[in-house]
């Protein structure tokens, strides 16, 4: 009986883990396929990956030069939450929260476009942390009266609507301007 287990005709080596195992369709140690007909060769895997890579490159090239369309801030609702949006308008308010920790400073400003009714300060734009420091280092911090073009993740809840800016390049000053009547600056 012992010689039947040791018989080389009944034993093989697992191509995945290298263990000596009884001949079977699967390795009893690693559950890897042992029959060449069931194993996927590297060539077949590469052959399947090429079309996926080509499709990914085509989609990337289509998206490369695509700009985010400009939305009217009054049209953005809770249904648009977490969408990447872009708005343009005039800065009506600015607020800087300087904390004890450099990486957690928060700068907020409000952008008003033509869709926003009078008396409403506009849509809040929130910039914080390292993104804020990068904008400040570049001298691109928006001021009251500036016309800006801003992109970011739209966040909306029951009583708030804001855009969270994730990279410094998403805040662009189109034109430096003069403060509009009724503009507010707070610290």
SS3 103: helix
SS3 45: helix
pLDDT digits (tens, 9 = 90+) for 60-113: 988 887 788 888 888 888 899 989 999 999 999 998 876 655 556 889 999 998
The closest alpha carbon to 87, from 108, 110, 104, belongs to 110
Q: Which of 29-38, 65-74, 140-149 has the lowest mean pLDDT?
A: 29-38
Domain residues of the chain, as ranges?
2-64, 73-186
Question: What's the confidence (pLDDT) of residue 36?
Answer: 67
73-186: which CATH topology?
OB fold (Dihydrolipoamide Acetyltransferase, E2P) (2.40.50)
Share of the chain above pLDDT 70, in %: 84
Structure tokens at 8: 């080389």
The predicted model scores a pTM of: 0.62
CA–CA separation, 141 and 133 (whole Å): 10
Residue 187: pLDDT over 80: no
Terminal C-alpha separation, the chain: 88
């Amino acid at each position: 009986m012992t010689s039947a287990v040791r018989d080389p005709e009944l034993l093989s080596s697992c191509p995945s883990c290298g263990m000596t195992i009884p001949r079977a369709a699967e390795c009893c140690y690693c559950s890897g396929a042992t029959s060449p007909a069931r194993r996927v060769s590297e060539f077949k895997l590469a052959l399947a990956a090429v079309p996926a890579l080509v499709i990914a490159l085509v989609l990337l090239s289509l998206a490369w030069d695509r700009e985010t369309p400009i939305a009217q801030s009054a049209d953005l609702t809770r249904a648009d939450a977490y969408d990447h949006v872009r708005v343009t308008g005039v800065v009506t308010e600015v607020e800087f929260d300087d904390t004890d920790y450099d990486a957690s400073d928060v700068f907020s400003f409000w952008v008003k476009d033509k869709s926003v009714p009078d008396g409403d300060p506009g849509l809040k734009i929130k910039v914080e942390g390292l993104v804020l420091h990068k904008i400040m280092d570049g001298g691109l911090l928006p001021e009251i009266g500036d016309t800006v073009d801003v992109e970011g993740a739209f966040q909306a809840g029951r009583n708030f609507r804001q855009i969270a800016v994730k990279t410094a390049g998403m805040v662009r000053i189109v034109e430096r301007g003069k403060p509009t009547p009724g503009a507010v600056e707070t610290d």
